[in-house]
Structure 1
Amino acid sequence: MPEPGNISFAAYHGVGDARDVVLLERYDSREAFARHRETDHFAGLAPAPTATSSRPWSCT
């Protein structure tokens, strides 16, 4: 089921390790993205978005 404000979603496997997965989501506004970050499925994905990345996490 589409999430309100979500305009695209894609999942990619890592080239060097197929267990690495990148989820790329686009939202139509910062507010829609903020609502997404409050959902149970987002909270259950990882303790914090920066936990899986060596780069600072941001939304632009």
Structure 2
Amino acid sequence: MERAARTRPSARCPIRPGDACSLCMPGVTGPQDCGLVYLVQDDPEMAAELAARRSSVAQQERLASGR
């Protein structure tokens, strides 16, 4: 029996909704250890702005898919 090749899911960037993590910060392995992600999520104003952007992107995706 032949096994199907496993693929790893690509990590999504929490800062750029809809984009994959491009490892834009030196030394990171993904969003889980990204200093930029930490700083944005730790700041209440920036976190609120990010939540609004995510909401907007999600709404645009729903409209585009017809849901």
> What is the TM-score with the length of structure 1 in the denominator?
0.25
**Which of the two has greater strand per residue?**
1
**Structure exhibiting the larger radius of gyration computed from Cα positions:** 2
**Which of the two has greater helix per residue?**
2
Q: Which has the higher contact order (CA 8 A, sep 6+)?
A: 1
